[in-house]
Structure 1
Amino acid sequence: MFPPMLRSLLRKYPFRSTPTLLRFLHHPIPKPPDESTAAATVSYLISSCGLSLSAALSAAKKFHLKSTANPDAVLALLKGHGFTKPQIANLVSKHPAILAAGPEKTIKPKLEFFAGIGYTGADLGKLISSDPNLLLNSLEKRIVRNFYLLKTQLGSPAAVIAAIAGSSRLLRYNLSTMMLPNLQTLRDHGVPALKIVMLVTRYPRVLMKKPDRFTETVKLLKEMGLKPTLTKFVLAINVMLGLTTATWERKLAVYRSLGWSEKETLMAFTRHPYCMLSSDKKIRKVMEFIVKKMKCEPAFVAARPKLLCLSLEKRTIPRCSVFSILESKGVVSRKRGVHSFLLISEKDFLEKYVIKYGEEIPEVLEAYQGKLEFAGLQASALGSRTISLKFWLCQRATSNI
């Protein structure tokens, strides 16, 4: 005779549920560990695995120590393959059930495989601790198969390892339904093989997007005028697929509020896709400085969107301060364009402006070091804190040794 509660359930679900309920009777939910077992688990996680008390308490909810034999064997394997103590602690904290996995059948073959393809010591520990599921996925059916599939697509083990560094999920997911269709889309639209390898090795997560969305993005970028043969095309794919629709619309609204038309915004994106990744706050600060302080039109920045990705405090303001000083001395002219100051390499800027004019116009050095606030000041009012250019260059050279 069934208990009253069970009879009630059987009346409610008379047919399909009965076998399930009977199986439940034969396989009751396991009881939680007693206090002594829980205490022993926490103690082991702290003393043997290096977890903090809070991390051990959290991990003990998912792993119950019955015997130290298996966990000890797992830890010995990890240490033997060069895992550091912090890496082991991180691994166990993320996935404590790894201590219950079979050392010889489950853990060891995978560690040996990764060591064989070039992962050793701390590098192997970094890979596994960042993605513990690599030790639990099927070696032959998933990991090995995906590795050699990637090698076929990319051409070398080094390229595969670079891609895995960007997303270890490449070894765990079904690439036939996710990545391979997207790679074929790139080929169909004329993206060169080298650019495809660049995308896979630098931005592998993008290729894990749903094929329909990936294809739509590639077509849209071509409609914007981006040529698939250019590096910017690959960068634009990464940016566009990395942004949600809401974020994209918000960026358009930010630029619109700063005086850009939608045409100018899309033009800026095609010229330097990463302008859509700058924070809203940074975009506003850079635009305010260049438009208000440097007296440039918003369209000036739209035509040179890379300016939005430069550090305002470390590059833009100091260089504009140097420009202002040299302009006031008649050394440079706005006809050359402020952007020529901002976009050249650090080495060229140092040689052409700081070293060249530093002795003659000492304020240039202070402006370059960021010691002078840019406010359109005349150079004649800036001579109170100059230092020797030769002394500064000597200090700079010494600090770079």
Structure 2
Amino acid sequence: MLRSLLRKYPFRSTPILLRFLHHPNPKPPDESTAAATVSYIRSSCGLSLSAALSAAKEVHLKSTANPDAVLALLKGHGFTRPQIANLVSKNPALLAARPEKTIKPKLEFFAGIGYTGANLGKLISSDPRLLSTSLEERIVRNFDLLKTLLGSPAAVIAAIAGSSRLLRCNLSTVVLPNLQTLRDHGVPAPKIVMLVSWYPRVLMNKPDRFTETVKLLKGMGLKPMWTKFILAINAMSGLTAATWERKLAVYRSLGWSENETLMAFTKHPNCMLSSDKKIRKVMEFFVKKMNWKPAFVAAEPRLLGFSLEKRTIPRCSVLSILESKGVMSRKWGVHTFLLISEKDFLENYVIKYGKQIPEVLEAYQGKLEFVGLQARYRRSQWKSAIAEEFNRRSS
């Protein structure tokens, strides 16, 4: 075997092969070096014993000179001790990196585009691979390309906050094909910028799957120029086929037809991202406490996204008090008290009636138990709401 290899790879390969045969495995660190490494990582980087033991398996420190220089550089750029601990636990080999050549230029680049102090530490500690990615060949090129696409450094920073992988991945093989798909299907430039800024992870899906998602959403009647189209891309990209079927089953068990669920999704895509538990809890409240038909909630799916404890129940409690005092018309609609802004709700209901009806403030603060509304939402009203939605979609 050895003789045949020598014949195939003569002269230059011989010393390499002999060295390989002489040292088949790298020499493990001695016990004193391992113990010193663990001690250093614990005392200088703030890791727990278990984390330090794990880190010491990946880096062996025979001297503290280099790791001291690395840590001094990080501290000099505003990294906090917890951020350094998090960074070293994720990437112990960083302690052996060349501080001046490998680390410092990248820290200076990020500081130059607006990341300083704890913000810089947060970025790097959350994604340590940024420090091992080529600065000129990948990080700077990607940043400049994203700046051209999004229009400003601030927009790029917003996108990076959503996924720092944008600076590490090969944009030409993943992100750019997906952006081209959006253009080909008529998504206007401002909406593309919105998607990159809000949901950058979505653009890192495989191009064939991304294209399939865009086509599917257009087939469901969503228009590429709508903001809802961007929301739907994000929602659909985060759901597997099995999860989508499970969500349909959950809504079906709560009284929605499949058409009503699809209608709700096209109107408010995030309704498919709520947990099964929250969906059931919110629907139970509206059906049992508010006496609403499931079909009415399906026509206003934004209601499912609100916090029961922080928004829905306090507002409904205020409404119940006002209705019991006879100052609230029975012709109220869902838009008037659940969908309006917090500022408008406070002005129109809490502040307006708070002085003459003290219970209003107590109800808003959650100090009164909400037992439900006596009056049902009129059948004609929820039928009208559904008919209005279908007419809007067909127009």
Same fold? TM cut 0.5: yes
The bucket for the TM-score relative to the shorter chain is: 0.7 to 0.9
Identify which of 132, 145, 148 aligns with 1:149: 145
- The partner residue of 1:319 within 281, 298, 315 is 315
1:248 aligns with 2:254: no
CA distance in 2, matches of 1:73, 1:377: 67
Structure 1 unmatched runs, 5+: 3-9, 379-401
Mapped partners of 1:186, 1:32: distance in 2: 53
Partner of residue 286, structure 2: 290
Q: Which runs of 4+ in 1 moved over 4 A?
A: 19-24
C-alpha distance in 2, partners of 1:153/1:339? 38
Of the three residues 164, 167, 170, the one matched with 2:166 is 170
SS at match of 1:296: coil
Show the 5 A alignment for 1:162-311. 162-311=158-307
1:57-99 deviation line (CA, Å, top 9, x unaligned) = 1111111111112111211221222222221111111100011
Alignment of 1:112-123 (within 5 A): 112-123=108-119
Residues of 1 paired with 2:361 and 2:77: CA distance? Answer: 52
Per-residue deviation, 1:176:
0.3
Answer yes or no: is the 8 Å Cα contact 2:78–2:120 preserved in 1.
yes
Q: How does 1:2-401 map to 2 (within 5 A)?
A: 24-376=20-372
- The 1:376/1:47 distance shift into structure 2, 3 A limit, reads closer
Q: TM-score scaled to structure 1, two decimals? A: 0.86
Question: 2:330, 2:229 → 1: CA distance?
Answer: 32
Q: TM-score, normalised by structure 2?
A: 0.87
Amino acid in structure 2 at the alignment position of 1:230: W
Deviation digits for residues 340-376 of structure 1 (CA, Å, limit 9, x no counterpart): 2111111111111122222333322222221221214
Kindly state the Cα deviation for residue 104 of structure 1 after the two structures are TM-superposed.
Answer: 2.0
Deviations 1:13-63 (A, max 9, x none): xx99xx999774244212322221111001111122222222111111111
Cα distance in 2 between the residues matched to 1:157 and 1:98: 28
Match of 1:381 in 2: none
Shift of 1:221: 1.0
Change in CA separation of 1:244 and 1:377 when aligned onto 2, cut-off 3 Å: closer
Is the Cα contact below 8 Å between 2:317 and 2:363 reproduced in 1?
A: yes
Distance between the aligned counterparts of 1:111 and 1:62, measured in 2? Answer: 23
Report Cα offsets for 1:300-351 as digits up to 9, x if no partner: 1000001111111222122212222222333223422244211111111111
The one-character-per-residue Cα deviations of 1:369-399 (angstroms, maximum 9, x if unpaired) are 2122121488xxxxxxxxxxxxxxxxxxxxx
Return the alpha-carbon distance in structure 2 between the equivalents of residues 362 and 87 of structure 1. 48
Kindly state the Cα deviation for residue 216 of structure 1 after the two structures are TM-superposed: 0.9
In structure 1, give the amino acid aligned to 2:74.
Answer: L
Q: Separation in 2 of the partners of 1:104 and 1:26? A: 35
Rounded to whole Å, the distance in 1 between the matches of 2:208 and 2:109 is 34
- Tell me the SS of whatever aligns to 1:190: coil
Question: Secondary structure of the equivalent of 1:92?
Answer: helix
Secondary structure at the counterpart of residue 33 of structure 2: helix
Contact map agreement 2:353 2:360 (CA 8 A) in 1: yes
Consecutive unaligned residues of structure 2, counting only runs of 5 or more, are: 375-395
How many residues matched? Answer: 367
Two-structure CA RMSD over aligned residues (Å)? 2.4
Give the AA of the match of 1:60: A
Indicate conservation of the 8 Å contact 1:323/1:338, yes or no: no
- For 1:105, the aligned partner's letter is K
State how far apart, in whole Å, the 1-side matches of 2:358 and 2:153 are: 53
Question: Quick one: distance in 1 between partners of 2:19 and 2:340?
Answer: 73
User: Secondary structure at 2:45's aligned position in 1?
Assistant: coil
